[in-house]
């Protein structure tokens, strides 16, 4: 039994070392390819420039950084109230039969790869946004909705666990 445990311990250690090395190599190659561009154009221009045209030697990340923050903020505005409301419903209101159906469905959402969510957004959501709001459809709204759906399982599970952890006396009050 001891030999088995030592072997498993060594395999886990090897896996951890390989994982750290892979992350280190990814970081190295990102900086090895990106650092010359940042040094040539300056870090300020690289981070605060608004134009991204690599073929014309323009490397400005500001619009991508701001867009990422806006999509994240939009996803939080959409996803958190929906998720917390769902968690309250599951923990406090829903009959056991409903909870037994809805909880696995929500947990199933966590297993869907992000590429599938992105494809759904591209094929279904973008044309809907284009039809109802005009424009090309590629928008902060589309990204926010897709990201809100992606965070739903995590926020629902954490919120539901937190709600269930509160003692009944605290919920009822004096």
pLDDT given at position 43: 81
Percent of the chain exceeding pLDDT 90 equals 65
Q: Is the pLDDT of residue 147 over 90?
A: yes
Number of Cβ atoms within 10 Å of the Cβ of 147:
21
> Taking the model in full, what pTM does it have?
0.76
For the chain, domain boundaries: 2-59, 63-172
Q: Which residues contact 90 (CB under 8 A, 6 or more apart)?
A: 99, 102, 103, 156, 160
Q: What angle do CA 132, 136, 140 make, to 5 degrees?
A: 80
Q: Which CATH number fits domain 63-172: 1.20.120.80, 3.65.10.10, 1.10.3720.10, 3.40.50.720?
A: 1.10.3720.10
What is the DSSP secondary structure assignment for residue 135, as one 8-state letter? Answer: S
Q: Region 3-27: what's the mean pLDDT?
A: 94
Token readout for 171 is 């919920």
CB burial string 157-166: b at 16+ within 10 A, e below: bebbeeeeee
pLDDT given at position 1: 64
Alpha helices in the chain, H assignment, sequence order:
2-41, 43-48, 62-88, 96-110, 114-120, 126-133, 140-165, 168-172
Q: Region 146-172: what's the mean pLDDT?
A: 91
């Amino acid at each position: 039994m001891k030999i088995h445990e030592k072997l498993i311990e060594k395999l886990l250690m090897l896996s951890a070392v390989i994982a750290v090395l892979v992350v280190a190599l990814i970081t190295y190659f990102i900086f090895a390819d990106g650092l010359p561009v940042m040094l040539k154009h300056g870090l300020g221009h690289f981070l605060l420039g608004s134009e991204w045209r690599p073929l014309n030697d323009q490397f400005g990340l500001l619009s991508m950084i701001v867009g990422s923050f806006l999509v994240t903020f939009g996803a939080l505005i959409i996803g958190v109230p929906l998720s917390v409301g769902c968690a309250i419903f599951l923990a406090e209101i829903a009959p056991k039969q409903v909870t037994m159906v809805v909880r696995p469905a929500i947990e199933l959402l966590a297993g869907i790869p992000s590429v599938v969510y992105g494809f759904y957004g591209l094929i279904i959501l973008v044309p809907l946004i284009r039809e109802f709001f005009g424009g090309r459809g590629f928008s902060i709204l589309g990204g926010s909705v897709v990201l809100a759906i992606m965070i739903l399982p995590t926020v629902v599970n954490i919120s539901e666990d937190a709600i269930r952890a509160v003692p009944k006396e605290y919920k009822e009050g004096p």
